[in-house]
């Protein structure tokens, strides 16, 4: 599966390049994301939702935006709004992969395409769910999964939702708690998010190693 590894590395490099360019240009979404929602109200919520939905293409600080939505709307509603927007971003990445799937399939060739599809059919759902909280990896996995017919739209949406919902809920809870002055709960929520990211990272590395 050497070509698929090259493809995934190329997608990750492209995502990182976008982050690097945005940081070099001092784009607010990287340098000072709090400015984008400083006004508060419906406008700030719309900006946060739009950025989360554009996560496949832009260097978006998802955790901060989800926390803002929790602070602005309370944990339950903020988590629901944030999860829907973050899921939309994942689906956008999957759509990019689908659009390029034909060309990528021809480049991979029938034999490697079959091996990749077999591997994705076995591991992709867990990998998609585990990747959703992880910067760069979330976008990379969504786009790569979209290139394969072994991963259907409903399967991707279900797996992405499984990873997105707890991620959004924990960050929204942290934001709501910080707003209410309950820093203890905010710290606990942040610790749980950190532990989840660590576990997801280990899971992704373990399965990535099994593909070689």
Q: What is the pLDDT of residues 125-135, one digit of tens each?
A: 888 999 998 88
Counting beta carbons within 10 angstroms of the beta carbon of residue 181, is it exposed (0 to 12), middle (13 to 18) or buried (19 or more)? exposed
Q: Do 57 and 64 touch, CB atoms closer than 8 A? A: no
C-alpha dihedral, 174 to 179 to 183 to 187, nearest 10°: 20
Which pTM value belongs to this model? 0.82
Residue 195 has pLDDT above 70, yes or no: no
% of the chain beyond a pLDDT of 90: 44
Q: What is the pLDDT of residues 11-55, one digit of tens each?
A: 999 988 988 888 888 877 776 777 777 777 899 999 999 999 998
């Amino acid at each position: 599966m050497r070509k698929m590894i090259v493809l995934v590395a190329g997608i990750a490099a492209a995502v990182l390049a976008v982050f690097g360019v945005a940081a070099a240009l001092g784009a607010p979404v990287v340098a000072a994301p709090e400015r984008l929602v400083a006004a508060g109200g419906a406008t700030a919520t719309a900006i946060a939702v739009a950025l989360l939905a554009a996560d496949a293409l832009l260097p978006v600080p998802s955790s901060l935006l989800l926390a803002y939505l929790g602070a602005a709307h309370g944990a339950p509603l903020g988590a629901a709004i944030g999860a829907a927007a973050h899921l939309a971003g994942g689906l956008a990445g999957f759509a990019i992969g689908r659009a390029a799937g034909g060309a990528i399939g021809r480049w991979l060739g029938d034999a490697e395409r079959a091996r990749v599809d077999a591997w994705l059919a076995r591991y992709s759902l867990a990998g998609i769910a585990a990747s959703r909280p992880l910067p760069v990896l979330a976008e990379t996995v969504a786009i790569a999964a979209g290139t394969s017919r072994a991963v259907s739209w409903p399967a991707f949406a279900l797996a992405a939702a499984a990873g997105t919902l707890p991620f959004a809920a924990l960050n929204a809870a942290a934001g709501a708690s910080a707003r209410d002055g309950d820093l203890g709960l905010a710290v606990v929520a942040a610790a749980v998010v950190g532990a989840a990211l660590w576990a997801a990272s280990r899971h992704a590395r373990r399965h990535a190693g099994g593909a070689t």
